[in-house]
Structure 1
């Protein structure tokens, strides 16, 4: 083989592999789950909770995460170990994140460990679309767009410790947004199912709600408690 010809073929292989990697990284997930959790349900379990160092959060749903997912129900995770969470990247968002994305785990914290976990497990899998600052900003923007507590209370579904039909909760959110949500329940200390997390689907840019290609299994019964907080 002519050395020049062999060199050309090798160059073409490298170029094709590079193109393949670019295409792959641009298509590494199909949609986001935007997940909000009800703090009353988080705290009302046998494990309990701890309020953040800033004090008890507002009586409102809070952000759990913005999670890349595949249409088949699977999801990527921990996609880039070389991209750690850097608090300096979101310094201008911190005040809003403490309000909208607080940690309720014990011991009490300032939220940094929670946000670090969310970025390193989930956020790094969307880096082809959103850098670290854009990722957290996108979640905050979505929270502003989707005021779940207002939607539910307007439909007569209030965090008063009463039981509500799962269907009524789903219908209220779908009527307000145009999209069917996923509902996840946990159980209180008496093993009663309670409204815990609400999933909505978002496009790969992290900007608009979409119909969910697949919904998570929610472990709910037909009637669920909406606990006070």
Structure 2
């Protein structure tokens, strides 16, 4: 792990004289000013519905990928720079506004945004030639990280996929279907070029926008282009654009989710929203930990009489050594429903050592700790 001190002076990206455009007919050996071999950049976006991530009227960031000029790509190019502290790095370089935006629009469907950001940087960011340390004058360790995330967010802000589709009469629905041509026409009308669209189980869930870059990723010019060497996974007809079920834990600029409250009897699919001192503060995520800035996990509740068992995407949920845990190999514990609030051994009160903040996830205990918390069920 590498950290920099807040306020530290960072170096500057190399000044490029007459920079060339990546993937062009003329190439350069100066890979600080000419992105190579990853010269076709894909700004990728998610539309997550189960569980929902991000605002209900916006797509979210997936990543910024330096593909080769034929659609192939390198990955995990520098293990020494596969940093595991993205949040701290952004804060150290004063990127609090960027971090706040990412907490809302760059979401992980399992609730672990930090891990997702680390993955995108390690797999893709380390493969961008113009962001290598040697491409900075007076380089400060990790300064390429905020450059990567800032550029991805800046590009994302120019590609309002939600509004582009709405403007073309394409709306989220559980029943309406559209053709690939209709979706592509809407995106081209909005942005001037076609994109790659991806589907899962017949529903639209990703869009990839392609660019070439003139000069450095940090300081150069991104030029929108038609993708080369990439393919869509969507059928030509019958494509659904499903509505989000409502962001279960939408983040605010302050980094804390707005409480959604509890509604309904505990059964089927739903979220477990944390309530402490009369207010909502986050929710349980898939491993069973309490998180206040991530996306709530979707739990499945199976009811037999008055007994309830729970599972998440990680596996069965149970109380293991006094800790709420979900995972493979976990023995199911029996819970009950008290007016839409989860109860164990007759009590709706669980405990934690503190109210989690930022990227911290905290275990939930059955034995008394400093903070009392209950979990209200919201049906999906």
TM-score normalised by structure 2 residue count: 0.47
Match in the other structure for 2:280: none
Q: Which structure is higher in strand share?
A: 2
In structure 2, how many angstroms separate the alpha carbons of the residues matched to 1:97 and 1:64? 11
Question: Is it true that 1:209 corresponds to 2:235 in the alignment?
Answer: no
Match in the other structure for 1:227: 242
| Equivalent position to 1:172, from 181, 186, 191 | 186
Match in the other structure for 1:72: 70
Question: Aligned Cα RMSD in Å?
Answer: 1.9
Match in the other structure for 2:89: 89
Q: Please state how far the C-alpha of 1:210 moved relative to its aligned partner.
A: 2.0
Counterparts of 1:25-174 in structure 2 under 5 Å? Answer: 26=34, 27-40=36-49, 43=50, 49=51, 57-59=54-56, 60-85=58-83, 86-87=85-86, 88-91=88-91, 92=95, 93-105=98-110, 108-109=111-112, 111-129=113-131, 131-161=144-174, 162-174=176-188
Q: Please state how far the C-alpha of 1:216 moved relative to its aligned partner.
A: 2.5
Is the contact between residue 184 and residue 220 of structure 1 (CA under 8 Å) also seen in structure 2?
no
Instruction: Determine helix, strand or coil for the equivalent of 1:184.
Output: strand
Q: Please state how far the C-alpha of 1:96 moved relative to its aligned partner.
A: 0.6
In structure 1, how many angstroms separate the alpha carbons of the residues matched to 2:152 and 2:106? 9
Q: Please state how far the C-alpha of 1:24 moved relative to its aligned partner.
A: 6.0
1:69-113 per-position Cα deviation (integer Å, ceiling 9, x unaligned): 0122210100111102232222222111011101112xx33x100
Counterparts of 1:188-203 in structure 2 under 5 Å? Answer: 193-203=202-212
Greater relative contact order structure (CA < 8 Å, 6+ sep)? 1
Q: Which structure is higher in helix share?
A: 1
1:32-91 per-position Cα deviation (integer Å, ceiling 9, x unaligned): 111111112xx2xxxxx3x6xxxx621111011111101222101001111022322222
TM-score normalised by structure 1 residue count: 0.76
Q: Please state how far the C-alpha of 1:127 moved relative to its aligned partner.
A: 4.5
Equivalent pairs, count:
188
Q: Which runs of 5+ in 1 are unaligned?
A: 1-21, 44-48, 188-192
